[in-house]
Structure 1
């Protein structure tokens, strides 16, 4: 670990605010967009059911670049990279607002993703290196608080801006915050580098990135891109081949991007695979619900955004219950039971119709938010809890990648199911657009429930030996 920098009192006081603001920008942007997708589709003359690429382009870019964030910060310095990340994110926001076609918007979202992939990993790295371990829990808790406010404010603000201004403002509001962040980064961000220059596994990075990209495009090919099944199979097999080549190579080199030895820790292996498959349902939730409310049920953007408040609020309120519940029941029982409950609640959205009482819909969303929050906390904590200090950094980086990738795959899968059922409207199997949404939620819920079989592979005592449970881990 490098020696701690000599921070003056003002920098030590302001640094957590700078990182927290960057975190807030990122989480707000991730939630404010979903409510605006139908309005954006109308303005760009696109089908609102095929707008998932706007979300996936950002998340996949973030997932691709997270593994390189630590090496880039050590190579060029944290101040320069953090400043560049905020600048890229802000420029991407401006380009999004100026976009006049779906392809331009997707390209602008990729620029945003380049900045987003570096903002939070580098921000956390600065905090880790700049403060003593005794201050770390307090500082990290302060930094993650805005991440909880983003999902609470984002959908409502997005719906309000779309209804009373235009969708362009969901991106333009990032600009003044970004300018302030750029100034603060240049003025107060310490320029830290690693104690020694490590080699970056460029070949492994290319193979792992190609695998993620090809598999995601394959799923997109079933939905928005409407590729022939032969091309989808070729893309899927190509992605799996790149992934196999990566792991075979990683097992024979000294410093791979992610070491296969990580999976010798049972809790890590179960946590990573559980994250990947359990999030296929919950990852699609923020994308599918605003579409259901606006496109199928006729809600206004503002009303759809406000309907998401119970989901985010319940997620915040249930967080303090995660630690005592897990300590009492154990990870195996909590995760297997909670995964079944999460899948059942997702499937229950398939019962929502035009005659469903609004209060009952809000109750369903609140329950989903609470169960989802407990799921994320338990999954992420069990993944890292038994790793030693030497492998914790690599394990945490892989977890961050898997979280982003799983959400992208969840949105792509949900959109593919919705597109498939929508194409059957009027053919006897699906009667209406609402019916297509109902069948999609039922399928997504069942797929999520299957992930419970993964968590049943945990032993009852797994996670109890280590007492490093931190309910602030989320995402």
Structure 2
């Protein structure tokens, strides 16, 4: 890296004049695991909280729907601060910003656990969201700057675990905490994990940074914050019963602000979300294919537990024990992703496994009480394996052609679209479920409604096939080990 200081294998920093070809990555598994644990804390917290909202509403003396502000304040912080994460990492150093993100998340967690009222809870969640907004893209940036290309697939397979496992294990963990402990432990459990994370970041992660940071883009920050905040908030409201009247104007405002941002970005020297990154073929295709696939990933943790609890009559804990199969499949992928990519390459692997993954999730829509539990469990294990592979591949190939000096803006750009598509997946699933109920005259979701919703979201992800075909046959050859 010409414009930064790269840590040597012996821990001694090398100057830019030495210009090593690649950063050493003997400890890349340690680095990836530290970052993954911090991100797992964030992902688990979000899904556990949803389970505890009714109990929290009772303690705060408010109606359960009013607790939605605890979720939306966090989403708002993500929307506003994710685009700024790359600039902050360049200016202050990725290691320092990542460690600060963990501290902010811990402070927000402590404040959430001590909150006596709903307004204080919303403020604490916003603070927590600022930390979460920095953790996701900056954590990925730390890994990209610390790991050689040849080890990127293995490192990314560790890193995507939190996003896949957190939403799956969240409901049963939340049910256990609410049933046997106090809901405040949802937030307090983050404190020892965060303290350990801060210590490990200081011990094992090198301070790799750019020597020349681009100036901050205040107008872009405001416009992107309004656009993304309204879109995420709108998608979130659309996924709730009766939220359509609020969702429509929010989405409209978000689209208008987004149009103004596009106009601004064409003239700004260093826009906060750099659209010129889409001229890089592998990055553009990864964003497009990954976005289509993430709609399914966002919808699945919403649809599956709901179907298990309403259709099968299971408790949150019982459904969680079945859906944890997806997490098991994700773990199984970790050891074989690099071997598959080395043998078949990114293009062929994404084409075949993309189709297989969509079909396996569509099969979940056919679950019925007559199915043996072992059969449903097996389908979910396979689904988790295939989905985990896809995101390992997409998250890796995205940075194959990105210049080292643009890694920070690329990670914030990618994380922004990732969060937007996950929220859109929930919105689409909820909308299709609602429309299916109206068409069939159902007052509550039935199995045919869930089947329709599963089929629609997986059909959307199947369109990634046409995107995957556009990858060059030798794309990511150095990363996969085929080069």
TM-score range normalised by the length of the shorter chain: 0.7 to 0.9
Higher mean Cα deviation, 375-384 or 199-208?
375-384
User: CA–CA distance in 2 between the matches of 1:103 and 1:412?
Assistant: 26
Aligned to 1:201: 217
In the alignment, is residue 112 of structure 1 matched against residue 166 of structure 2?
Answer: no
Unpaired stretches in structure 1, ≥5 consecutive residues: none
**Aligned residue runs from structure 1 range 276-291, under 5 A:** 276-291=291-306
* Alpha-carbon separation, structure 2, partners of 1:234 and 1:286: 27
Residues 264-343 of structure 1: matches in 2 within 5 Å? 264-326=279-341, 331-343=346-358
Report the Cα offset of residue 174 of structure 1. 0.9
Q: 1:252 aligns with which of 230, 250, 267?
A: 267
3-state SS in 1 of match to 2:478: coil
Which SS does the other structure have where 2:477 is aligned? coil
Q: 1:243 to 1:226 in 2, by over 3 A?
A: same
Please show how residues 165-176 of structure 1 align to structure 2 within 5 Å.
165-176=181-192
> In the alignment, which residue of structure 2 is the partner of 1:31?
44
Deviates more, 1:78-87 or 1:204-213: 78-87
Assess if the C-alpha contact under 8 Å between 2:362 and 2:458 holds in 1: no
Determine the structure 1 residue equivalent to 2:236: 220
The Cα RMSD (Å) is: 4.3
Quote the residue 1:469 is aligned against. 479
Distance 1:414 1:443 in 2: 6
- Give the number of aligned pairs: 464
Helix, strand or coil at the partner of 2:252: helix
The Cα of 1:44 is off from its aligned counterpart by: 2.0
Q: Please say if residues 24 and 150 of structure 1, whose CA atoms lie closer than 8 Å, have aligned partners that are also in contact.
A: no
- Offset at residue 171 of structure 1 (A): 1.9
Matched-pair contact (CA < 8 Å) for 1:224–1:415: yes
Which deviates more, 46-55 or 19-28? 46-55
Is the Cα contact below 8 Å between 1:74 and 1:197 reproduced in 2?
A: yes
Q: Which residue, out of 342, 359, 363, partners 1:344?
A: 359
Q: Call closer, same or farther: CA 1:118–1:144 in 2, change over 3 Å.
A: same
Structure 2 unpaired stretches of 5+: 14-24
Shift of 1:430: 4.2
The separation in 2 between residues aligned to 1:80 and 1:157, in whole angstroms, is 31
Residue 67 of structure 1: SS of its match in structure 2? coil
Deviation at 1:362, TM superposition (A): 1.3
Aligned residue number for residue 70 of structure 1: 86
User: TM-score by structure 2 length?
Assistant: 0.78
Question: Once the 2 structures are TM-superposed, how far is the Cα of residue 94 of structure 1 from its aligned partner?
Answer: 2.5
What do residues 384-429 of structure 1 show as CA deviations (whole Å, max 9, x unaligned)?
Answer: 334444545433332122112211222233344445666x4xxx72
Deviations 1:307-332 (CA, angstroms, capped at 9, x unpaired): 23211111121244434444555545
Distance 2:340 2:7 in 1: 39
Report how far residue 228 of structure 1 moved. 5.7
Contact 2:358 2:462 in 1 (8 A): no
1:308 aligned counterpart, secondary structure = helix
Pair 1:41–1:446, CA change in 2 (3 A) = same
Determine the C-alpha separation between the residues in 2 that align with 1:407 and 1:294: 22
Q: Distance in 1 between matches of 2:403 and 2:106?
A: 37
Aligned pair partner of 2:416 in 380, 386, 401: 401
Say which is worse superposed, 206-215 or 447-456, in terms of deviation.
Answer: 447-456
Give the structure 2 partner of residue 414 of structure 1.
Answer: 429
Q: Deviations over 1:82-111 (max 9, x none)?
A: 443222211222333345677665543332
Give deviations 1:126-158, integer Å, cap 9, x for gaps.
5666x6859976995797497489648655544
Matched, 1:162 2:164: no
Question: 1:399, 1:143 → 2: CA distance?
Answer: 18
**Contact 2:55 2:183 survives alignment (8 Å):** no
The correspondence of residues 30-179 of structure 1 with structure 2, limited to 5 A, is 30-31=43-44, 33-34=46-47, 37-44=50-57, 57-58=73-74, 61-76=77-92, 81-99=97-115, 105-123=121-139, 125=141, 140=155, 144=159, 147=162, 151=166, 156-179=172-195
The 8 Å contact of residues 336 and 452 in structure 1, kept in 2 or not, is answered as no
CA contact (8 A) 1:210 1:242 kept: yes
